[in-house]
Structure 1
């Protein structure tokens, strides 16, 4: 099998990296690629003596890590991936593993599909406020909607849908005219539909929160649709739906704007404008569902994106424990 040149470059970067955390049984930790309140994200590759043919992991992964005492969000994310597996529009989870750092502290690691295309937020930022081409936006939107259909049919709400949580996976192995598939990631805040009222789901990012979430503290599947509308508007224009970034400022803009929705600029196609109007509706009961959005002209005209999985192993939900920790249990978390 011919190796992907991007993958080979990525593996070199992984091998050159270093970390205060130790490696897994089959994988070697590489450079730090992200950091958040949940922990840190590293690139990782299979150890030289491990054959990809017999490994349960792909040759390159993304590893989210945190000390086990503060890993509740990562453990919950793993639980959500297990409950939502089977959809190609979600980032794939390959399992979890316990390692130790140089001080002997136990580290929880979540092993995920690596997105060599980066985040959708990064791609939008690179346009310099001009936005992405509409055909590209259509394709990304269709893939995101497929993921939302799966999440909502499984009685879940994502609760933190935003460009930074949409990752781009290369569709092909070429280095020229590279195309990407958009996948939903970061399921740490996802909740079952029955547990998205009151204080259960007040997390997320203000700029993408629906009116009912900001004002009433309610976040349901329709709230994900509002967030999707904000994402599509940002892809098309290169700018966020609201000028403000804090809760008070956004609520003020909502109350001052006509119908309580973000301004849709002139110059967008009729199809794009229609799609946004189906998502950015003040009353959640009047928003389109994810299934309904699949049939609107803006999305129906998109080309189906199928990933070439030749260089990626099928996801396997596996827990790998170092021999010395086999009798240790992960800190229990509340079921979602």
Structure 2
């Protein structure tokens, strides 16, 4: 498909290989940039699985886009054979590097709410296809400027550790109990050994907490201390500076019983994620409802007062009605007199 490729720069390195920014020039002269994930032969299966998952999730706005339906082959700078996965390039890098641009790594609250909503939208897609990401963390979330460049979009990437719902990974054993990165893993990862969707929701709670505090969860603990804390169903501490609705959301994600965390779609309706315009509309509706209830109450009181007056009147003596005769008899009497006088005048003239 490509006629020429040029490595622009090195982007990073992970557990399953390294990533380069590559410029591809097609035969018609057009070009595009891609973040190319390179893996060696021993990690081919993981990269192939990631490609298959990304192909199923292709077109969803909160999932990083992959180019092509197969892995490309090439060689590293050392002459080793590598397999390449072409991915959408995120110019702002990972969420971790993006947070480094802010004071104390703390993101603005509106941005935290927007990013949380975007992650959940991505999880709804992933879980809806029967997968669990298993390694949600700032390194695996990519920040991309929106089309108008006034805000940012967040996309979920790196599906190398992803598993199907209910799957038991062969490497989930006591000496290596975590599927993904330990500090973002829930207590059940030490006990159950079965992958469920709620695993990602605990990781989300850790992410939201980190965006507020600027610090990674379980800061200062080694792997043994962390395992001990999780075995006793402990969760990362939420400081008082975190807003009330955000605290409630994080606590929901940190529920000790996985089923109490709900689902990604349910968490999307949490009050922590209500948009500002939705809150304004709710306030308007509340005011209208309050005025309506006030009007109905006043109307009810008026009706009650009128009913009381009618009751008071009925208890008194009946009113005597004065019948005023109509003017018809009086008019008839006058007319009779005039006719009588006219008759007399006629009689006198004749005589």
Alpha-carbon distance in structure 2 between the residues aligned to 1:37 and 1:108: 14
2:244 matched residue in structure 1: 270
Alpha-carbon distance in structure 2 between the residues aligned to 1:24 and 1:130: 39
Q: 2:209 aligned with 1:233, yes or no?
A: yes
Q: 2:25 aligned with 1:51, yes or no?
A: no
Shift in Å, 1:71: 2.4
Alpha-carbon distance in structure 1 between the residues aligned to 2:262 and 2:85: 34
What does 1:172-211 align with in structure 2 at a 5 Å threshold?
Answer: 172=147, 174=149, 178-196=150-168, 199=171, 202-211=178-187
Q: Is the 8 A contact 1:67 1:108 kept in 2?
A: yes
**Distance of aligned partners of 1:153 and 1:243 in 2 relative to their CA distance in 1, 3 Å threshold:** same
Aligned with residue 44 of structure 2, among 65, 71, 93:
71
Alpha-carbon distance in structure 2 between the residues aligned to 1:130 and 1:39: 27
**Distance of aligned partners of 1:202 and 1:240 in 2 relative to their CA distance in 1, 3 Å threshold:** closer
Shift in Å, 1:232: 0.4
**Distance of aligned partners of 1:115 and 1:268 in 2 relative to their CA distance in 1, 3 Å threshold:** same
Please report the TM-score for the alignment, with normalisation by the length of structure 1. Answer: 0.73
| Bigger mean CA offset, 61-70 vs 109-118 | 61-70
Alpha-carbon distance in structure 2 between the residues aligned to 1:44 and 1:245: 38
Aligned with residue 34 of structure 1, among 12, 15, 25:
12
Q: 2:258 aligned with 1:291, yes or no?
A: no
**Distance of aligned partners of 1:303 and 1:276 in 2 relative to their CA distance in 1, 3 Å threshold:** farther
More helix by share: 2
Shift in Å, 1:253: 3.4
Q: Is the 8 A contact 1:142 1:302 kept in 2?
A: no
What does 1:296-335 align with in structure 2 at a 5 Å threshold?
Answer: 296-301=270-275
1:120 matched residue in structure 2: 95
1:212 matched residue in structure 2: 188
**Distance of aligned partners of 1:104 and 1:270 in 2 relative to their CA distance in 1, 3 Å threshold:** closer
| Bigger mean CA offset, 66-75 vs 29-38 | 66-75
Which protein is bigger by CA-based radius of gyration? 2
**Distance of aligned partners of 1:159 and 1:139 in 2 relative to their CA distance in 1, 3 Å threshold:** same
Alpha-carbon distance in structure 1 between the residues aligned to 2:180 and 2:251: 23
SS at match of 2:52: helix
SS at match of 2:239: coil
Q: 2:110 aligned with 1:135, yes or no?
A: yes
2:291 matched residue in structure 1: none
| Bigger mean CA offset, 41-50 vs 134-143 | 41-50
Higher relative contact order (CA 8 A, sep 6+): 1
CA offsets 1:103-132 (integer angstroms, 9 cap, x no match): 765321100000101111112234353511
CA offsets 1:189-239 (integer angstroms, 9 cap, x no match): 111113146646943100100100134433311010000000000001111
1:92 matched residue in structure 2: 65
Alpha-carbon distance in structure 1 between the residues aligned to 2:269 and 2:14: 36
Please report the TM-score for the alignment, with normalisation by the length of structure 2. Answer: 0.70
| Bigger mean CA offset, 229-238 vs 89-98 | 89-98
Alpha-carbon distance in structure 1 between the residues aligned to 2:117 and 2:264: 10
Alpha-carbon distance in structure 1 between the residues aligned to 2:92 and 2:277: 19
CA offsets 1:27-70 (integer angstroms, 9 cap, x no match): 33322111122111000112275433xxxxx6111001123354
Alpha-carbon distance in structure 2 between the residues aligned to 1:197 and 1:285: 21
Alpha-carbon distance in structure 2 between the residues aligned to 1:189 and 1:218: 14
